[in-house]
Structures are given as structure tokens and as C-alpha cells.
Amino acid sequence: MSGTPISSIRNLGPAVESACKRAGIEDAETLRALGADETYRRLLAHGTKPHFIGFYVLHMALQGRPWNDARGKEKEELRARFDALVAEGKSDAPLAGIEAILDEIGVIDPLRRPRE
């Protein structure tokens, strides 16, 4: 018997559901048990490109809130948590392939650019 679809959670659609399944998160119950931070950590580890809005929406969805509900200090704290999760997944390995070429010509990967 399968659990409740992830897409049944407010603001989480088929794309999030598909990404969660790639990360081994099969249903809404598992996602809720893991929480937003651990779910996002697993999404990143399974190929989801980091994007603050996706992280933010996941948090709001698990709280049953509108996707754009956080403001001020709460949003700043979410941004700090997002940055920490993204930093966990980075490696100090040298750039390779197209990333190395883009870096050589001066195009900087936004995830490697220091925040101001």
C-alpha cells in the first residue's frame, strides 16, 4: 500500500514529487517525517539544482502556509539554512568540463561566487 502522494501537499506539484521519488522519498508521510531540511539535503544529493525558492516553498508547504508567506527575520533564517545546506554539498574539487571552460573565460558559477 502506498502512502499519500507528495503532490497532495499544498504548493508541491508533480515536479517536486518526481524529484522526491528520485531521492527515495516516496510519499507525503515520509516527507513530513524527514522535514524540510533533510528532504532538501536529499534532493540536492540526488541532482536537484539548488534554488532558494524551492527550499522556501518546501518549508512553507510543510507548515500548510502560502508559498510566499515568510517575511523578514524568518526569511533571513531560511536563507541561512539554505546556504548551509548548499555548502554541505559543495566539494573543493577543481572544476571540470564545461564549468572549467566557463570559469576560464570569466563566467562564474553563482554557487561558487561569494555572497556579499
Cα gap 20→10, rounded to integer Å: 15
Residue 36 lies in a domain: yes
Residue 109 lies in a domain: no
Residue 92 lies in a domain: yes
Residue 1 lies in a domain: no
Between 98 and 66, residue with greater pLDDT: 66
Helical packing angle, 52-62 and 28-45, nearest 10°:
160
Residue 115 lies in a domain: no
Residue 112 lies in a domain: no
Residue 100 lies in a domain: yes
Model pLDDT for residues 28-75, shown as the tens digit of each residue? 999 999 999 999 999 998 889 899 999 999 999 999 999 989 999 999
Between 77 and 88, residue with greater pLDDT: 77
Residue-level pLDDT at 14: 95
**Is the four-CA dihedral 5, 6, 7, 13 of positive or negative sign?**
negative
Q: Is 115 helix (H, G, I), strand (E, B) or coil?
A: coil
Domain count, the chain: 1
Helical packing angle, 72-89 and 28-45, nearest 10°:
60
The CATH number of the domain holding residue 49 is 1.10.150.20
Model pLDDT for residues 1-27, shown as the tens digit of each residue? 479 999 999 999 999 999 999 999 999
Domain that includes residue 50, residue range? 6-104
Residue-level pLDDT at 105: 77
